[in-house]
Amino acid sequence: MRVDICEGWLSGATRCLSPNVNERPAGATISLLVIHNISLPPGQFGSGCVQQFFSNQLDCDAHPYFDQLRELQVSAHLLIERDGSLTQFAAFTQRAWHAGESCFEGRENCNDFSIGIELEGTDSSAYTEAQYIALATATASLMQAYPALSVDRIVGHSDIAPDRKTDPGAAFDWGRYRQLLQGEQLSL
Protein backbone atom coordinates (compact mmCIF):
# COMPACT_ATOMS: atom_id res chain seq x y z
CA MET A 1 0.00 0.00 0.00
CA ARG A 2 1.49 3.32 -1.06
CA VAL A 3 0.37 6.95 -1.06
CA ASP A 4 0.78 8.94 -4.26
CA ILE A 5 2.09 12.11 -2.63
CA CYS A 6 1.36 14.35 -5.62
CA GLU A 7 -2.24 13.22 -6.06
CA GLY A 8 -3.02 12.12 -2.48
CA TRP A 9 -4.50 8.69 -3.22
CA LEU A 10 -3.80 5.37 -1.50
CA SER A 11 -3.13 2.37 -3.72
CA GLY A 12 -5.49 -0.51 -3.05
CA ALA A 13 -8.37 1.70 -1.92
CA THR A 14 -11.62 1.92 -3.86
CA ARG A 15 -12.46 5.52 -4.74
CA CYS A 16 -15.88 6.92 -3.95
CA LEU A 17 -15.58 10.66 -4.33
CA SER A 18 -17.30 12.88 -1.80
CA PRO A 19 -18.41 16.41 -2.60
CA ASN A 20 -17.96 17.23 1.10
CA VAL A 21 -14.36 18.37 0.82
CA ASN A 22 -12.49 21.54 0.06
CA GLU A 23 -8.95 22.82 -0.17
CA ARG A 24 -6.73 22.91 2.88
CA PRO A 25 -5.56 26.38 3.95
CA ALA A 26 -2.43 27.61 2.20
CA GLY A 27 0.65 26.24 3.90
CA ALA A 28 -1.24 23.62 5.93
CA THR A 29 0.89 20.58 6.75
CA ILE A 30 -0.78 17.22 7.30
CA SER A 31 0.25 16.48 10.86
CA LEU A 32 -2.61 14.65 12.61
CA LEU A 33 -4.46 11.38 12.10
CA VAL A 34 -7.97 11.11 13.56
CA ILE A 35 -9.63 7.74 14.05
CA HIS A 36 -13.43 7.59 14.01
CA ASN A 37 -16.14 4.95 13.85
CA ILE A 38 -19.37 4.85 11.90
CA SER A 39 -22.13 2.42 11.03
CA LEU A 40 -25.35 3.11 9.21
CA PRO A 41 -27.90 2.33 10.42
CA PRO A 42 -26.19 2.29 13.84
CA GLY A 43 -24.81 -1.15 14.64
CA GLN A 44 -25.39 -2.49 11.13
CA PHE A 45 -22.41 -3.29 8.96
CA GLY A 46 -21.88 -3.80 5.24
CA SER A 47 -24.96 -1.85 4.19
CA GLY A 48 -23.17 0.52 1.80
CA CYS A 49 -24.96 3.37 3.54
CA VAL A 50 -21.73 4.99 4.76
CA GLN A 51 -20.52 5.34 1.18
CA GLN A 52 -23.92 6.77 0.20
CA PHE A 53 -23.89 9.17 3.16
CA PHE A 54 -20.40 10.52 2.45
CA SER A 55 -21.27 11.00 -1.23
CA ASN A 56 -24.63 12.72 -0.47
CA GLN A 57 -26.55 9.82 -2.03
CA LEU A 58 -28.19 8.39 1.12
CA ASP A 59 -31.94 7.88 0.91
CA CYS A 60 -32.90 9.53 4.18
CA ASP A 61 -36.37 7.97 4.00
CA ALA A 62 -34.96 4.42 3.97
CA HIS A 63 -34.52 4.20 7.77
CA PRO A 64 -35.92 6.29 10.65
CA TYR A 65 -32.39 7.07 11.95
CA PHE A 66 -31.42 8.63 8.63
CA ASP A 67 -33.85 11.52 9.08
CA GLN A 68 -31.36 13.25 11.41
CA LEU A 69 -28.68 12.97 8.71
CA ARG A 70 -30.77 14.70 6.05
CA GLU A 71 -28.99 18.08 6.15
CA LEU A 72 -25.51 16.88 7.11
CA GLN A 73 -22.59 17.10 4.74
CA VAL A 74 -19.64 15.11 6.05
CA SER A 75 -16.86 12.93 4.76
CA ALA A 76 -13.63 11.27 5.76
CA HIS A 77 -10.54 10.41 3.82
CA LEU A 78 -10.81 6.65 4.36
CA LEU A 79 -13.34 4.06 5.50
CA ILE A 80 -12.12 0.67 6.67
CA GLU A 81 -14.90 -1.91 6.56
CA ARG A 82 -15.18 -4.99 8.77
CA ASP A 83 -13.35 -7.16 6.21
CA GLY A 84 -10.48 -4.65 6.01
CA SER A 85 -11.43 -3.24 2.62
CA LEU A 86 -10.65 0.43 2.10
CA THR A 87 -12.71 3.17 0.46
CA GLN A 88 -11.17 6.59 -0.10
CA PHE A 89 -13.54 9.57 -0.35
CA ALA A 90 -11.06 12.44 -0.65
CA ALA A 91 -7.47 12.90 -1.67
CA PHE A 92 -5.25 13.37 1.37
CA THR A 93 -4.27 16.71 -0.12
CA GLN A 94 -7.88 17.86 0.38
CA ARG A 95 -9.64 18.84 3.59
CA ALA A 96 -12.31 16.24 4.33
CA TRP A 97 -15.13 17.28 6.67
CA HIS A 98 -14.69 14.70 9.44
CA ALA A 99 -13.65 16.39 12.68
CA GLY A 100 -16.13 19.25 13.00
CA GLU A 101 -15.54 21.63 15.88
CA SER A 102 -12.25 20.32 17.24
CA CYS A 103 -8.96 21.22 18.89
CA PHE A 104 -5.55 19.52 19.15
CA GLU A 105 -2.72 20.99 21.22
CA GLY A 106 -4.46 24.38 21.26
CA ARG A 107 -4.98 24.43 17.51
CA GLU A 108 -8.60 24.52 16.37
CA ASN A 109 -10.20 23.29 13.13
CA CYS A 110 -8.43 19.94 12.96
CA ASN A 111 -9.81 19.30 9.46
CA ASP A 112 -7.26 21.86 8.23
CA PHE A 113 -4.27 19.66 9.10
CA SER A 114 -5.59 16.14 9.65
CA ILE A 115 -6.51 12.95 7.87
CA GLY A 116 -9.71 11.24 9.01
CA ILE A 117 -10.08 7.46 8.99
CA GLU A 118 -13.46 5.89 9.75
CA LEU A 119 -13.65 2.32 11.02
CA GLU A 120 -16.93 0.57 10.35
CA GLY A 121 -18.06 -0.09 13.88
CA THR A 122 -19.48 1.27 17.10
CA ASP A 123 -18.00 2.42 20.39
CA SER A 124 -18.91 -0.90 22.01
CA SER A 125 -18.49 -3.49 19.23
CA ALA A 126 -15.09 -5.13 18.92
CA TYR A 127 -13.25 -4.18 15.76
CA THR A 128 -11.98 -6.96 13.53
CA GLU A 129 -8.38 -8.08 13.12
CA ALA A 130 -8.69 -7.26 9.41
CA GLN A 131 -9.55 -3.67 10.34
CA TYR A 132 -6.57 -3.34 12.68
CA ILE A 133 -4.22 -4.72 10.02
CA ALA A 134 -5.62 -2.41 7.33
CA LEU A 135 -5.49 0.57 9.69
CA ALA A 136 -1.87 -0.11 10.70
CA THR A 137 -0.81 -0.66 7.08
CA ALA A 138 -2.54 2.53 5.89
CA THR A 139 -1.14 4.49 8.84
CA ALA A 140 2.42 3.36 8.12
CA SER A 141 2.01 4.42 4.48
CA LEU A 142 0.61 7.79 5.53
CA MET A 143 3.44 8.37 8.00
CA GLN A 144 5.95 7.62 5.29
CA ALA A 145 4.24 10.02 2.85
CA TYR A 146 3.61 12.79 5.39
CA PRO A 147 6.57 13.04 7.79
CA ALA A 148 4.79 15.43 10.19
CA LEU A 149 2.53 12.49 11.15
CA SER A 150 3.91 10.46 14.04
CA VAL A 151 2.65 7.94 16.56
CA ASP A 152 2.05 10.70 19.11
CA ARG A 153 -0.09 12.58 16.57
CA ILE A 154 -2.68 9.81 16.19
CA VAL A 155 -5.86 10.45 18.15
CA GLY A 156 -9.46 9.39 18.44
CA HIS A 157 -12.26 11.76 17.52
CA SER A 158 -13.07 11.82 21.23
CA ASP A 159 -9.63 13.32 21.95
CA ILE A 160 -10.15 16.38 19.75
CA ALA A 161 -13.89 16.89 20.42
CA PRO A 162 -14.38 15.44 23.92
CA ASP A 163 -17.62 17.27 24.66
CA ARG A 164 -19.25 16.01 21.46
CA LYS A 165 -17.73 12.70 20.43
CA THR A 166 -16.89 9.30 21.94
CA ASP A 167 -15.44 7.45 18.96
CA PRO A 168 -13.60 5.25 18.28
CA GLY A 169 -14.88 4.18 21.70
CA ALA A 170 -13.94 1.75 24.45
CA ALA A 171 -13.98 -1.19 22.03
CA PHE A 172 -11.00 0.19 20.11
CA ASP A 173 -7.81 -1.59 21.18
CA TRP A 174 -5.14 1.09 21.03
CA GLY A 175 -2.50 -1.39 22.22
CA ARG A 176 -3.22 -3.84 19.40
CA TYR A 177 -3.21 -1.03 16.84
CA ARG A 178 0.13 0.36 18.07
CA GLN A 179 1.65 -3.14 18.15
CA LEU A 180 0.67 -3.73 14.52
CA LEU A 181 1.79 -0.25 13.55
CA GLN A 182 5.22 -0.86 15.05
CA GLY A 183 5.53 -3.98 12.92
CA GLU A 184 4.43 -2.09 9.80
CA GLN A 185 6.93 0.69 10.40
CA LEU A 186 9.74 -1.83 10.74
CA SER A 187 8.81 -3.46 7.42
CA LEU A 188 8.88 -0.20 5.41
Answer whether residue 161 shows pLDDT above 90. Answer: yes
185 pLDDT band (50/70/90 cuts)? Answer: low
Taking the C-alpha atoms of residue 158 and residue 163, their distance in angstroms, rounded to an integer, is 8
187 pLDDT band (50/70/90 cuts)? Answer: low
State the angle between helix axes of 174-187 and 129-145 in degrees (0 to 180), rounded to the nearest 10.
50
Considering the entire predicted model, what is its pTM?
0.95
Burial of 110 per CB tally in 10 Å (0-12, 13-18, 19+): buried
Contact 153, 31 (CB under 8 A): yes
pLDDT of residue 188: 52
Answer whether residue 160 shows pLDDT above 60. Answer: yes
> Which run of H or E residues covers position 16?
none
Answer whether residue 119 shows pLDDT above 80. Answer: yes
186 pLDDT band (50/70/90 cuts)? Answer: low
Omega into 147 within 30° of 0, i.e. cis?
no
Q: pLDDT of 148-157, one tens digit each?
A: 999 999 999 9
183 pLDDT band (50/70/90 cuts)? Answer: confident
With a CB cutoff of 8 Å and minimum separation 6, the contacts of 70 are 60
Side chain identity at residue 20, one-letter code: N
Per domain, the residue ranges of the chain are 3-187
Side chain identity at residue 94, one-letter code: Q
Does domain 3-187 fall under CATH 3.40.30.10? My reply is: no
* Average pLDDT of the residues in 80-108: 97
Q: Which of the residues 81, 118, 120, 184 is marked catalytic?
A: 118
Q: What is the 3-state secondary structure (H, E, C) of 19-44?
A: CCEEECCCCCCCCEEEEEEECCCCCC
CA proximity to 167, closest of 108, 98, 112 = 98
Answer whether residue 184 shows pLDDT above 80. Answer: no
| Average pLDDT over the chain, rounded to an integer | 96
Known catalytic residue: 118? yes
Per the rule left: phi > 0, alpha: psi between -120 and 50, beta: everything else, 52 is alpha
Q: pLDDT of 1-37, one tens digit each?
A: 899 988 999 999 999 999 999 999 999 999 999 999 9
* Average pLDDT of the residues in 93-122: 97
Report DSSP state, residue 59.
-
